[in-house]
């Protein structure tokens, strides 16, 4: 079992409570986000190192919600960088490289968990080749308006999960995965969708989301009936539907 989200991640990053959201909309893999926050005094004068996260073929994308000046970052037991991280910047971490950091100042971030299986599923649905790696500079922050914007949409749900809409959360987390695959993994679909309709992978995603939504409605009871969605309805959507997050970043 992964240690890269929820309370297992909280333990590695020395916080007691870390709310998390997990989506299984891809079926073959989870995508998750965890809020990591520590405002109080640190236990030691010089801080402490974060704990190691069990190595796996996966990535964390951390959106900084608070400045962290002079952050010391380590990979595979060696210091990889020392740099200032500013609120709104994002960092990518390869969990195969045992990423750790010196926690000597208060910190607040959103950590998105993206396993290799999720990136492969996203590429497969886009009819694109598998993603080999994510382009990033170890420990450095990048200004990514898309991740920052999507992250801000998730904060209310993390703080008030009883008011969150699961379908909305599925869309946001999948949007983060698609954006990362395109922007840092170089994902490009191999074929262009037919004019005037959804691409095959977009149609599959639309049907999966609708089926999941119908199942939730049925489980909650009520007399309302949901009509089946036909080909003519799906054809009304433009071919770029579902890829808005990636378009904002360009």
pLDDT of residue 3: 81
Cα within 13 Å of Cα(38), Cβ side: 19
Instruction: From residue 95, give the alpha-carbon distance in Å to each of 46, 92, 145, 146, 232.
Output: 25, 10, 24, 22, 44
Pairing of strands 58-64, 107-115: antiparallel
| Residue 185 pLDDT exceeds 50 | yes
Beta bridge mates, 32: 22, 113
Tokens 């960092």 correspond to 91
Q: What is the pLDDT of residues 21-74, one digit of tens each?
A: 999 888 889 999 999 999 976 666 567 899 999 999 999 999 999 999 999 999
pLDDT of residue 54: 92
Mean pLDDT of the chain: 83
Distance, CA of 214 to CA of 78 (rounded, Å):
50
If one compares 226 and 19, the residue with the highest pLDDT of the two is: 19
pTM: 0.77
Q: What is the pLDDT of residues 153-164, one digit of tens each?
A: 999 999 999 999
| Residue 78 pLDDT exceeds 50 | yes
Q: What is the pLDDT of residues 111-143, one digit of tens each?
A: 999 999 999 999 998 889 999 899 999 999 999
Pair of tokens at residue 149: 């914007």
Q: What is the pLDDT of residues 204-243, one digit of tens each?
A: 666 666 666 666 665 555 444 444 444 444 444 444 434 3
In 3D space, the residue among 151, 179, 154, 152 whose CA is nearest the CA of residue 165 turns out to be: 154
pLDDT of residue 45: 55
In 3D space, the residue among 56, 58, 35, 38 whose CA is nearest the CA of residue 48 turns out to be: 38
Instruction: From residue 180, give the alpha-carbon distance in Å to each of 123, 137, 195, 210.
Output: 11, 14, 26, 24
Handedness of CA 203, 207, 210, 212 (dihedral sign): negative
Distance, CA of 73 to CA of 121 (rounded, Å):
30
pLDDT of residue 249: 27
């Amino acid at each position: 079992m992964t240690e890269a989200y929820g309370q297992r991640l909280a333990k590695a990053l020395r916080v007691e409570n870390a709310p998390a959201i997990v989506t299984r909309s891809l079926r073959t893999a989870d995508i998750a986000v965890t809020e990591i926050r520590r405002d109080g005094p640190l236990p030691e004068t010089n801080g402490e190192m974060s704990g190691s996260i069990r190595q796996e073929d996966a990535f964390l994308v951390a959106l900084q919600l608070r400045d962290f000046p002079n952050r010391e970052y380590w990979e595979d037991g060696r210091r990889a960088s020392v740099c200032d991280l500013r609120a709104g910047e994002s960092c990518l971490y390869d969990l195969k490289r045992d990423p750790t950091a010196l926690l000597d100042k208060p910190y607040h971030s959103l950590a998105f968990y993206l396993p290799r299986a999720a990136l492969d599923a996203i590429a497969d649905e886009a009819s694109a080749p598998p993603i080999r790696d994510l382009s990033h500079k170890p420990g450095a922050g990048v200004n990514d308006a898309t991740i920052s914007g999507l992250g801000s949409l998730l904060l209310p749900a993390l703080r008030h999960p009883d008011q969150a809409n699961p379908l909305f959360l599925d869309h946001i987390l999948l949007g983060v995965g698609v954006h990362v695959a395109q922007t840092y993994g170089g994902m490009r679909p191999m074929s262009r969708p037919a004019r005037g309709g959804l691409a095959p992978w977009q149609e599959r995603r639309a049907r999966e989301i609708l089926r999941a939504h119908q199942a939730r409605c049925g489980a909650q009871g009520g007399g309302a009936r949901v009509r089946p969605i036909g080909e003519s309805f799906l054809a009304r959507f433009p071919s770029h539907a579902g890829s808005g997050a990636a378009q904002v970043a360009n």
